Chains A and B, each alone.
Chain A
Amino acid sequence: MIVIRIGIPRALLYYMYFPLWRAFFTELGAEVVVSPGTNKEILDAGLQSALNEACLPVKLFFGHTAALADKVDYLFVPRLISIEPKAYICPKFMGLPDMLRARINPLPSLIDVSVDFSRGNRDWYSVLSLAGRQITSDNNLIRKAYSSARAAQDLFQKQLEAETPVLEAIKRATGKRAPDRGGQAAAEPGCLCIALLGHPYNIYDDYISMNLIQRLRSLGVRVITADCVPQQTIAEQASRLPKKLFWTLGRKMVGAAHAFYDSSRFDGMIYLSSFGCGPESLVGELIARWARRRPDLPFMLLTIDEHSGTAGMITRLEAFTDMLKRRRKREDHLPAHGQPVYSSQGVAVQTGDRPGAATAYLQENR
């Protein structure tokens, strides 16, 4: 019997749903082929096929698709409209299958079922059963495949909430490594703890995040991401906004940010965003503004695109962690963001990032 090969690009929502998708198609008897980890070749293919104005994650999705195009019979590229009620993910996710068809040629058949949970009570079962019917007509098999897929995804979710790194959790939930309860290796006492925010496909892609998480760890930092925050908490915290946010990932970032603000375990917060990301241009701004009103939690925004260089990233991470370490040592003596530092001459100097602010302050106090 010929085994159908189904390709899943290692990009975008791969980092949130791969265990579910993989288990489902494997149980249906298909062979799931995942594109290799992002590398230069994939990035270049993405840059060539995607529109210049698209954001880096979407370009990478094109690259990963191109890497699979001649290796599989079907590509699983769901049209991701909404994965929770009254919220979208991003317009570009909604147009993915159309954009791929217009720009990559030849392309294997797409399994482009719509994922739209915003209306009615549709769930992954209704989506995946539609997808499953494209390769089998056995409804019992589909139901069975879905229940093991659900189990894999639940295991994945549990691992995440135990603060297991995502890539590790994916391996465990797809049976590549035995699950354990450990989470991150117990960090040495007194090490820095940084909250890392950012869309999963940016922070967990080692190539484009330039190994951000690994680098922080090697600087002696324990990294906590939004995925470690239980979904319930995220929903509660995000509802503190005066107007409900209509982007799922944005809501996740906002909810996690508030949960992090409320906790006292963090020394600093980093937001990794991709250049040109629409939701992040507003959500990141809100989070940064709230962080600045919080004198005790230093915040750094890193923006990446295909031109980012490792050296700049390393320098900024080192400077940030050094600053955090110094703060810890001399906590009482350091001014918060935006507060004046008194120099020996008694002239106030404003710390902060608005160049005009410092001079205005000087003039007022002369």
Chain B
Amino acid sequence: MLSRLGIALVLPPPTSRKTVELGVRHAPEFACFPLKLNLGNFLEARELGADTILMAGGIGPCRFGYYAEVQREILADLHVPMEMVVLEPPAGDWGAFKAGVRSLIGGRSWWDVLKAIRFAWYKARAIDAVEAEVLYLRPRLFEPQRVEELCREALGRLDASGSRQELDHAVGEFRRTTRGLPRRSGALLRVGLVGEIFTVLEPYANYDIERHLGLLGVEVTRGIFLSEWINEHLFGGLLRVHGLEHVEELAAPYLNAFVGGHGRETVAATVHFARQHYDGVVQVAPFTCMPEIVAHSVLPAVARDQEIPTLSFYLDEQSGIAGIVTRLEAFVDLMTARRSRRGKQEAAGRKRL
């Protein structure tokens, strides 16, 4: 979207160990993990010559809404001269939102901005489509690495695309090539991935949890996608996105109020997955994430009533991959055992009839 408006864009390099180290060194010790990674991204972008940071805001009660303010102070103390443009959700205050955008676009017209936004939106949906495909295919293929390679290629092509046709073409191409990959047969375990959105979406923050589950032969469905977040935070929910509906009804009676972030969505998605007869739900959240702690607190009640096993991970720079994989393996074993026990019970039930 920004390159379409003629603004030189510096993308921070993909989150890496170095990002984590930079972020952890300068961020508050007890801040949540996304803030640390985020700060690391900024500092790395600075090394590549960026002078302005474009960042989303928020109005709480989740900490994300105040990230930019704290990061501004940290950068000031580090004597890193970077300007921050914070796009606050336009809740009743379109003036401030407009001013923020205006400072970015300079003299270009609002019509150009609108076109750029529509394009950016289309691109976000295209990325979600490719990633959903990978989640579907990974446990089904003999060579899951192959689809990961193709996905990387496709994302690169999406990134370079300048028009809708190119985006459609890249997604179509990806679908065509992956369709031909050899698949294995047999029933799959299905797991819903819920939790705080950044941790769900950023593989570096969730220690590639989707990939590990996929390689263990589990089909993962995300409870939340990037485009939903953009819609909610930057467009004030103006667009109609096919996301989880009836969140309030699903989350009741376990969680009867909005608790910030995606706490209620986590509970609602867990109930949703249970009703779809998924084998389990994995919750991921940054360590000390407030909304997810509330959600996690009520999950045992959900798990009991809805008969679905849940596993929660709190992640930060201290987490270790071996521990995570061991717990995932145990969880997969549990789900497998549960399924075969259920299968036997059903068979026994049929015989008696």
Interface residues of A (CB under 8 A from B): 50-51, 53-55, 79, 81, 86-92, 94-95, 97-99, 101-103, 114, 241-243, 245-247, 275-282, 284-286, 289, 292-293, 303
Residue among A81, A90, A101, A282 with max Cβ neighbours from chain B (10 Å): A282
Stretch of B137-145, B226-234, B296-304 lying at the A interface = B296-304
Interface residues of B (CB under 8 A from A): 28-32, 35, 57, 59-63, 65-66, 68-70, 72-74, 77, 86, 254-261, 263, 287-291, 293-294, 296-298, 300-301, 314
Instruction: For A87, list chain B residues within 8 Å (CB).
Output: 60
Say yes or no: A242 contacts B28, CB within 8 Å.
no
Instruction: For B72, list chain A residues within 8 Å (CB).
Output: 242
Say yes or no: A95 contacts B28, CB within 8 Å.
no
Task: Supply 10 further A-B pairs (C-beta < 8 A) apart from A242-B69, A280-B30.
Answer: A91-B260, A91-B261, A94-B294, A98-B255, A98-B294, A242-B72, A276-B30, A284-B30, A285-B73, A289-B73
Chain A's closest residue to B257 (CB) is A94
Say yes or no: B66 contacts A243, CB within 8 Å.
yes
Chain A's closest residue to B77 (CB) is A289
Say yes or no: B297 contacts A278, CB within 8 Å.
no
CA of A149 to CA of B161 in the docked complex: distance in angstroms? 65
Say yes or no: B257 contacts A114, CB within 8 Å.
yes
Instruction: For A81, list chain B residues within 8 Å (CB).
Output: 257
Contact of B31 among A90, A91, A285 (CB under 8 A): A285
Say yes or no: A91 contacts B290, CB within 8 Å.
yes
Say yes or no: B32 contacts A278, CB within 8 Å.
yes
Chain A's closest residue to B61 (CB) is A88
Instruction: For A292, list chain B residues within 8 Å (CB).
Output: 77
Chain A's closest residue to B302 (CB) is A102
Chain A's closest residue to B69 (CB) is A243
Instruction: For B73, list chain A residues within 8 Å (CB).
Output: 285-286, 289
Answer whether A277 and B66 are a contact pair too, CB < 8 Å, given A91-B291, A95-B259.
Answer: no
Chain A's closest residue to B30 (CB) is A281
Chain B's closest residue to A280 (CB) is B30
Minimal beta-carbon separation of A246 from chain B (angstroms): 3
Say yes or no: A276 contacts B288, CB within 8 Å.
yes
Contact of B63 among A101, A114, A282, A293 (CB under 8 A): A282
CA of A88 to CA of B77 in the docked complex: distance in angstroms? 28
Contact of B32 among A50, A98, A99, A281 (CB under 8 A): A281
CA of A246 to CA of B69 in the docked complex: distance in angstroms? 12
Instruction: For B259, list chain A residues within 8 Å (CB).
Output: 91-92, 94-95
CA of A53 to CA of B263 in the docked complex: distance in angstroms? 14
Instruction: For A286, list chain B residues within 8 Å (CB).
Output: 69-70, 73
Say yes or no: B70 contacts A282, CB within 8 Å.
yes
Residue among B57, B63, B74 with max Cβ neighbours from chain A (10 Å): B63
CA of A201 to CA of B254 in the docked complex: distance in angstroms? 27
Say yes or no: B296 contacts A241, CB within 8 Å.
no
Say yes or no: B291 contacts A246, CB within 8 Å.
no
Chain A's closest residue to B58 (CB) is A246
Chain A's closest residue to B28 (CB) is A285
Instruction: For B257, list chain A residues within 8 Å (CB).
Output: 79, 81, 94-95, 98, 114
CA of A99 to CA of B257 in the docked complex: distance in angstroms? 11
The 9 closest A-B pairs by CB, nearest first: A246-B60, A88-B61, A95-B294, A285-B28, A281-B30, A91-B290, A102-B301, A91-B260, A99-B297
Say yes or no: B298 contacts A98, CB within 8 Å.
yes
Instruction: For B291, list chain A residues within 8 Å (CB).
Output: 91
Contact of A278 among B57, B59, B63 (CB under 8 A): B63
Answer whether A247 and B61 are a contact pair too, CB < 8 Å, given A88-B260, A278-B290.
Answer: yes
